[in-house]
Amino acid sequence: MGEAAVEIVKPRTDTREYRRIVLRNSLSVLLISDPDTDKAAASMDVSVGSFSDPEDFPGLAHFLEHMLFYASEKYPLEDSYSKYIAENFTARKGVGGWKHLLLHLDSPKTIPLLVSHGGSTNAFTTSEHTNYYFDVNSDCFEEALDRFAQFFVKPLMSADATTREIKAVDSENQKNLLSDAWRMNQLQKHISAEGHPYHKFSTGNWDTLEVKPKEKGLDTRQELIKFYEEHYSANLMHLVVYTKDSLDKIQSLVENKFQEVQNKDRSNFHIPGQPCTSEHVQILVKTVPIRQGHKLRVIWPITPSIHNYKEGPCRYLGHLIDHEGEGSLFYILKTLGWATSLSAGEGDWALQFSFFEVVIDLTDAGQEHMQDIVGLLFKYISLLQETGVCPWIFDEGLIRKTSLGEIDGFLSTICEIAFHYQDKIPPIAYVVNVSSNMQIYPPEDWLVGSSLPSKFSPDLIRKVLDKLAPDNVRIFWESRNFEGHTDMVEPWYGTAYSIEKITGSMIQQWMLAAPNKHLHLPASNEFIPTDLSLKYVQEKAKFPVLLRKSSYSTLWYKPDTMFSTPKAYVKIDFNCPFATSSPEADVLTGIFTQLLMDHLNEYAYYAQVAGLYYAINHTDSGFQVAVIGYNHKLWNLLKTVVEKITNFKVKPDRFLVIKEMVTKGYQNLKFQQPYKQATCYCSLILHDNTWPWMDGLEVIPHLEADDLAKFVPMLLSRAFLECYIAGNIEPKEAESMILHIEDIFYSGARPICQPLFPSQYLTNRVIKLDKGMSYFYPAKGLNPSDENSALVHYIQVHRDDFLPNVKLQLFALIAKQPAFHQLRSVEQLGYITVLMQSNYSGIQGVHFIVQSTAKGPGHIDSRIEEFLKMFESKLYAMSEDEFKSNVNALIDMKLEKHKNLSEESGFYWREINDGTLKFDRREAEVAALKNLTQKDLTDFFNEHIKVGAPRKKTLSVRVYGGQRTSEYEEEMNEPNQPDWVKIDDIFKFRKSQPLYGSFKGCHGHVKL
């Protein structure tokens, strides 16, 4: 075992300790000691990915990733690793709940495997890497790490498990077949050199892993073992271990657990250069997407910038081409009404090749001006060549576009700020990031990665810029307008496309014919924070306090007492009764919020670049303004946003663009995954006073700019502001902000807003299902071409209260892994198989969510009932020690500290938004858990969850895929049973049911 004396660069605010070691078997390890952590985590990154798939076995590397979770020689019981992790997990906070979790299932970059295992163990396969990771409570880490290590020591891959898991991989692939992201990614790969690994299909399916191998006399299991033996070697592995223990203790633990991993002294997979030959550039590919809309992808093969990460040439160019301020390419395209979004930067990359991509979402008008748009893009590239590389842009710094609340800084000033004041993230996310970096960067930069470019190199930037040339370009043009006008089909996803050759002279002509607009470089950024000092607040409040209350607003305030960061978090909910008065009002409110963002974009983009993010979102009760980031210039941005709201004027040309966007958004809802359709139906059935998306789609064609101009004054005429301000802001500052906003909206001879009448306060009421009744709602899948069916099996339990909350949470914790194992691993009902707790505006319950091509929703529903019967016996047989272990795991979950300001604020904002205001929820629920007995849990199960329980309330939403139309018709014709009722009309059903009381909207429910 060796230890390298390398100083690892880390943020100034990072108090964690790090140590790099190399085991005797050449396995490289980074140890991280964090005394403040509640969780322990580990990630193993293996330098083997889908590029290493044998020619006869597309998807084998990904399939192996699935199989390593099953069993090992030391722990031969199937799924025992996952069971152990699930019983000792701590659910991650601040990730948006179960809906957010499910959204990740659609990403072509990350392939989750054990989605329902408490969110604490997972893996993904990329072209050159496979990454395995987990987290558990700290006191369970040693055994969890031992089980994890066996993946790489002596895994077992039984013949039975192999056959079953091929079905899971096939189900995963079925889920992706109608996803434009997956389809377009594979099409780009398909149009490349056939002998290059980039050309391959990487997911795998039943045909590639079962049918074709058998035809060739190959045994999939033997090939799987052969692949593992050939490629999984300790010298190709990088491990990160993160716990609260000392570095010496972690080192001893790692040496003990991982020394048996074999070093076969393998070499990294060698990639034979660029995948695109002269045949694959200077092409225009027209392709037909699944969804409505038009998209232009302009792509150039380049040398990977990872080899020059300290110079950051692609980030420099990406920042400029990607910019949205005045004079930018996007600004011009937006002004012309041709584009609604633009992104630019390095896309797919490997160590030997890469692509620089510009992706533009086009309007219908833009679709008619493709040549002009490409011409303007090359004009902007010419401008960059003519003006040369600018030191001030490098020195000022850049921040890549990210989602709200995330900061990913690079280059000079802003890069330094972003790196040294980065938010702490959950250990499981941190270890994955770092283990992935270990394969690419030298040890000193394992934490930094490419986020701190420090060498200004005009020559390198110019070299990449020279590659962005007409003779090196690949243009992919997506539109359903091309349907029936293509002559080729991509074999794996069935994407229709055609290819035309384009020349440099053609693009020169497009440049000459393009509109003569004044393209120019961005201005200096006034939003870069210069005051990063921390403010002293005398009263260190543990929970949010009601700082101010009036007939116009409430202000909840929470100073930063945990994170010592120069950031703030501001949310203002505009509760407007007229926003929900009709489907037309609902749609117009949404258009209003998008137009506000549209009007602010050129100004606010600079704030985003400087790490200050804002959003104006349509909500169930009106709209919300959020500003999150460095506090120094936050008020400047917020004040401008508020002024834009008060002075709002409809621009007819922009109204038409946004209306087109919103219309396509509604139209594309039918292409959602069936499980998402089922969750939407479930929410529509349960939430009172909500409008279906079909109503919005029907009314939007008739709405004009004048309708919005008349509607906005009415929308704002009555409003109540619910505000939350947290972070590095003093109480007087917070109060001053809200007073200023009140003055703007409510003061003067003719105020914009007036306070609400008591009768106008909006509530969030939920349908109360009848006890002892099971309801089901059958629906055809909205896309007849989608063969996936889906089921949401919902059990409604109680209105938010600490004691029943913890009983439900404990049931969900204990049942989660057995449900996944039985329904997904054993019965192979579908790749998406989830059991999780649900919260509809304070009404607690549990969801089973399954998506499948193998079985119909009715069958899946019956299998969930059978699972609950099976689980009942396991619950009764549970030992007292097992019960206490699960209780302690749930207590540890609740005592887990928030990682950063956004996570803490999100927790408290949910209490405010739901109206529950139980800021001490975690402490109160821990107290309830400490007094909970095993009998309390079984009594709860028998009353609310058990099949046939007299007080049980169930709703099953069944979405039938295209291949199961006959099953849908049969179900529609079946008569109702005494305790099993079909919902024929959602709105008649809602009107017939009683409602739970609302936590929100009771004027005066909070007191100073």
DSSP string, 403-443: STT---EESHHHHHHHHHTPPP--HHHHHHHHHHHHTTS-G
Q: What is the pLDDT of residue 105?
A: 42
102 has a pLDDT exceeding 50: no
Phi, psi for residue 540 in degrees, rounded to 5: -85, 80
H-helix or E-strand containing 29?
Answer: strand 28-33
The model's confidence at residue 1, banded by pLDDT at 50, 70 and 90, is low
Which pair of structure tokens corresponds to residue 165? 């898991």
Q: What is the DSSP string of 581-597?
A: SSHHHHHHHHHHHHHHH
Which pLDDT tens digit goes with each residue over 853-873? 999 999 999 999 999 999 999
- The full length of the chain comes to 1008
Beta-bridge partner residues of 55 = none
326 is catalytic: no
Q: Judging by DSSP bridges, how do beta strands 474-479 and 283-287 pair with one another? A: parallel
Give the residue from 36, 13, 17, 14 showing the smallest Cα distance to 895.
Answer: 36
Percent of the chain, pLDDT > 90? 87
All residues at 6 or more sequence positions from 815 whose CB lies less than 8 Å from its CB, including other chains: 835, 871
Give the residue from 879, 749, 889, 919 showing the smallest Cα distance to 816.
Answer: 889
C-alpha to C-alpha distance for 46 and 233, rounded to whole angstroms: 8
pLDDT: is 103 or 37 the higher one?
Answer: 37
- Which one-letter amino acid corresponds to residue 870? M
The model's confidence at residue 113, banded by pLDDT at 50, 70 and 90, is very low
Which pLDDT tens digit goes with each residue over 948-969? 999 999 999 999 999 999 999 9
What is the rounded average pLDDT of the residues 738-745? Answer: 97
DSSP 3-state of 945: coil
Angle at 895 between CA 894 and CA 900, to 5 degrees: 100
Beta strands in 303-379, from DSSP E residues, in sequence order: 339-349, 354-362
165 is catalytic: yes
Phi, psi for residue 323 in degrees, rounded to 5: -60, 155
Q: What is the pLDDT of residue 540?
A: 81
Which pair of structure tokens corresponds to residue 305? 């910038």
Q: Report CA-CA distances (Å) from 592 to 618, 718, 748.
A: 9, 16, 24
Q: Judging by DSSP bridges, how do beta strands 773-780 and 980-982 pair with one another? A: parallel
Which pair of structure tokens corresponds to residue 899? 């990682």
The model's confidence at residue 979, banded by pLDDT at 50, 70 and 90, is confident
692 has a pLDDT exceeding 50: yes
SS (H, E, C) 881-943: HHHHHHHHHHHHHHHCCCCCHHHHHHHHHHHHHHCCCCCCHHHHHHHHHHCCCHHHHHHHHHH
624-636 per-residue burial string, b: 16 or more CB within 10 A, e: under 16: bbbbbbbbbbbbe
* Gyration radius (Cα) of the chain, Å: 28
The model's confidence at residue 79, banded by pLDDT at 50, 70 and 90, is confident
Beta strands in 126-278, from DSSP E residues, in sequence order: 130-137, 155-156, 237-243
Q: What is the pLDDT of residue 273?
A: 86
| Residue with tokens 């009983």, as numbered in its chain | 807
Which pair of structure tokens corresponds to residue 746? 């409510």
C-alpha to C-alpha distance for 919 and 802, rounded to whole angstroms: 12
748 has a pLDDT exceeding 90: no
Neighbours of 103 (CB within 10 A): 12
The model's confidence at residue 408, banded by pLDDT at 50, 70 and 90, is very low
Beta-bridge partner residues of 779 = 959
Q: Report CA-CA distances (Å) from 719 to 591, 593, 624, 715.
A: 18, 15, 12, 8
Angle at 16 between CA 12 and CA 18, to 5 degrees: 105
Q: Report CA-CA distances (Å) from 102 to 88, 532, 605, 936.
A: 22, 37, 30, 31
The model's confidence at residue 974, banded by pLDDT at 50, 70 and 90, is confident
Q: What is the pLDDT of residue 410?
A: 34
Mean pLDDT of the chain: 92
C-alpha to C-alpha distance for 932 and 952, rounded to whole angstroms: 21
Phi, psi for residue 852 in degrees, rounded to 5: -155, 145
Q: What is the pLDDT of residue 411?
A: 43
86 has a pLDDT exceeding 80: no
End-to-end CA distance of the chain: 62
C-alpha to C-alpha distance for 66 and 474, rounded to whole angstroms: 34
155 has a pLDDT exceeding 90: yes
| Catalytic site residue from 87, 128, 165, 357 | 165
Give the residue from 24, 446, 25, 46 showing the smallest Cα distance to 236.
Answer: 46
Are 8 and 447 spatial neighbours (Cβ–Cβ below 8 Å)?
yes
What is the rounded average pLDDT of the residues 59-86? Answer: 93
The model's confidence at residue 412, banded by pLDDT at 50, 70 and 90, is low
Characterise 293 by phi-psi region: left (phi > 0), alpha (psi -120 to 50), beta (else): left
- Which one-letter amino acid corresponds to residue 787? E
- Which one-letter amino acid corresponds to residue 378? F
C-alpha to C-alpha distance for 443 and 30, rounded to whole angstroms: 9
Which pLDDT tens digit goes with each residue over 330-344? 999 999 999 999 999
Are 537 and 727 spatial neighbours (Cβ–Cβ below 8 Å)?
no
Which pair of structure tokens corresponds to residue 326? 């005045």
565 has a pLDDT exceeding 90: yes
Characterise 484 by phi-psi region: left (phi > 0), alpha (psi -120 to 50), beta (else): left
The DSSP 8-state label assigned to residue 130 in this structure reads: E
Give the residue from 830, 824, 781 showing the smallest Cα distance to 963.
Answer: 781
58 has a pLDDT exceeding 60: yes
What is the rounded average pLDDT of the residues 152-179? Answer: 95
C-alpha to C-alpha distance for 23 and 228, rounded to whole angstroms: 21
The mean-pLDDT minimum among 203-217, 383-397, 768-782, 791-805 falls in: 383-397
632 has a pLDDT exceeding 70: yes
Which pLDDT tens digit goes with each residue over 907-952? 999 999 999 999 999 999 999 999 999 999 999 999 999 999 999 9
Helices (H) and strands (E) in the chain, counts: 34, 29
| Residue with tokens 């069958």, as numbered in its chain | 859
Which pLDDT tens digit goes with each residue over 644-674? 999 999 999 999 999 999 999 999 999 999 9
Phi, psi for residue 956 in degrees, rounded to 5: -110, 125
